[in-house]
Amino acid sequence: MSRSLRLILGDQLTRSLSSLSDLGEDDVVLMVEVGDETSYVRHHPQKIALILSAMRHFAEELRGRGVTVDYVTLDDPDNTHSFGGELARAVKRHDPARIIVTEPGEWRVWEMMGDWESDLDLPVEIRTDDRFYCSREAFAELVAAGKTTRMEYFYREMRRRTGLLMEGDGPAGGDWNFDAENRKALPKGLELPHRMRFRPDETTQEVLELVAARFDNHFGDLEGFGWAVTRDEALRALRHFIKDCLPTFGDYQDAMKAGEDFLFHGVLSPYLNLGLLTAAEVCEKAQQAWQDGDVPLNAAEGFIRQILGWREFVRGIYWTEMPGYEDSNFLNAKRDLPEMYWGAGTRMRCMEDCIGTTRRNAYAHHIQRLMVTGNFALLAGVAPRQIEKWYLEVYADAFEWVELPNVHGMVMHADGGRLGSKPYAASGSYINRMSDYCGACSYDLKQKTGEDACPFNYLYWNFLIENEEALGDNRRMGLMFANLRKKDKAERDRITGSAKAFLDGGEWP
């Protein structure tokens, strides 16, 4: 008997997956919907529905290609609701000679895989996930070579290795990045693209009914579900972004507008992280659009950097620093996450809008996550594990390998600078510059302290006061602390008093 049992995880929905590369006629592909994965955190209902529907569609696609697929649904009465339990049942059904898997994205599943060979008394072959530009082994080599101390160094190395946006030995256009061109606020009257959404088919509708029945007490709306759930739909979403959004994405990628959930952003990360799209094809299509003259260089570069730079870098950091990466708390942040993150309401218009789009869509774009909900958690000193758990729960694209480094390192600076050289702390003036939130907010941006002042104003200065010992020598924060040190004791007392009043009472639960 030479039959192989090949387990495909819910974020491995890729035709070219390494564990599917040499399928034999007698081989069986196993796909399982297990309760452990839907409940280890309280995922947004749209996130659960997206993953389950995409899995079911992928299974049907494989069957259409003549592959034998053993699929266990979440409501199967015999479901053990664990990977190990379902593998054991499948081994009894199919009597395979070996099990083949592609390495998982998350450390907790990697640890599970280490036990399967002994638990099942079968050889388990774990193959490299080659859907990334930089393998775990290659990243470790770059770490040893000192090329991962900052994302920018890693990004330049990856540009050289892949040839993306390169002209000979140098970067296209003469610069490695065009951040300076990508920080424009939306001008009034700018026409925004109509974003492509997908009507649920019969399979998705069945999943939506299942999720509604089982997860109705999770944060997030299920109605309005419009995610792509197949490879073909994801490709349509990619073409739509390249044609209708990418040309203007660069200029306005840091902009925010009340009531506009997507603007010019790709909204492709869920499809990348599930495997419906690959990093290579997405980057290559963006580069081709620039080469064809349809997209300016600053837009193509800014988009490619998010994937080839940040996405690959945070994955490398995750696998290099785990386990234990989440245990650090450099700024000793301990406050509880406020109830407004769960929809309790707030007078802060920016927070209300960003949490609202998260509730509606299981999505918010990167500036909303970093400079509004993330910035607030940083300034307020929220315990890193609490805000990390929130991000993992509420976003459709959130898997721990990408969520944890971004939140722990980039948002909360809890790793002390491993991921980023300084915290992304900002006052209300930044939010005002990059959005239209502040004009209609009940708080006054011009006031720096007091009951009616924008909380971001005094929380920003209070953050610097609370963390002066930890961050005062940070080279990139020199101007911030120089300005802080100009404030006399009376002004500092007004700042800390306003922050304490807000955090201990006011809108804080």
* Chain segment 352-380, per-residue pLDDT in tens: 999 999 999 999 999 999 999 999 999 99
Fold of domain 4-127: Rossmann fold (3.40.50)
Strand, helix or coil for residue 70: strand
Which residues is 378 bridged to in the sheet?
A: none
Burial label, 334 (beta-carbon count in 10 A; 0-12, 13-18, 19+): exposed
Q: Is the pTM of this model over 0.85?
A: yes
Query: 32: part of which helix (H) or strand (E)?
Result: strand 28-32
Spell out the long-range contacts of 160-169 with Cβ–Cβ below 8 A and sequence spacing 24 or more.
Answer: 161/133, 162/133, 162/283, 162/308, 164/283, 164/284, 164/287, 164/304, 164/308, 165/287, 165/290, 165/297, 165/300, 165/301, 165/304
For the structural domain made of 339-504, what CATH number should be given? 1.10.579.10
Q: Which tokens hold the place of 21? A: 């590369």
Check pLDDT > 60 for residue 506: no
Of residues 104, 108, 100, the one with CA closest to residue 36: 108
How many angstroms separate the first and last alpha carbons of the chain?
A: 62
* Element housing 4 (H / E): strand 4-7
507, pLDDT greater than 90: no
pLDDT for 221-275, tens place per residue? 999 999 999 999 999 999 999 999 999 999 999 999 999 999 999 999 999 999 9
List Cα–Cα distances, 426 to 47, 380, 433, 463, 476, in angstroms: 30, 12, 11, 10, 14
Phi and psi dihedrals of 487, rounded to 5?
A: -85, 135
What would the pLDDT profile of 373-391 be if each residue is shown by its tens digit?
A: 999 999 999 999 999 999 9
Handedness of CA 268, 274, 279, 282 (dihedral sign): negative
For position 1, what pLDDT does the model report?
55
Cα angle: 325, vertex 329, 332; to 5 degrees:
175
What pLDDT is recorded for position 69? 98
Q: What is the band of 508 on the pLDDT scale with cuts at 50, 70, 90? A: very low
Percent of the chain with pLDDT over 90: 95
Over residues 10-53, the pLDDT tens digits come to 999 999 999 999 999 999 999 999 999 999 999 999 999 999 99
Q: Which fold has domain 136-197+229-321?
A: 1.25.40
Alpha helices in 267-310 (DSSP H): 269-274, 279-291, 297-304
Please, what is the average pLDDT of the chain? 95
pLDDT of residue 509: 38
Domain assignments of the chain as residue spans, ordered by start: 4-127, 136-197+229-321, 339-504
CA distance 95 to 101: 16
pLDDT (tens digit, 9 = 90+) per residue, 144-192? 999 999 999 999 999 999 999 999 999 999 999 988 888 888 998 899 9
Rounded to whole angstroms, how far apart are CA atoms 393 and 502?
26
Q: 84 burial class (0-12, 13-18, 19+ CB within 10 angstroms)?
A: middle
For β-strands 166-167 and 170-171, DSSP reports them as antiparallel
Report the C-alpha gap between 393 and 219 in whole angstroms: 8
For residue 21, the number of C-alpha atoms closer than 13 Å in the C-beta half-sphere is 12
Report the candidate in 408, 352, 367, 410 with the shortest Cα–Cα distance to residue 384.
Answer: 408
Distances (CA, A) of 493 to 134, 333, 396: 49, 21, 42
Q: Measured at the alpha carbon of residue 405, what is the angle toward residues 401 and 406, in degrees to the nearest 5?
A: 105
Return the axis-axis angle of helices 297-304 and 279-291, rounded to nearest 10°. Answer: 170
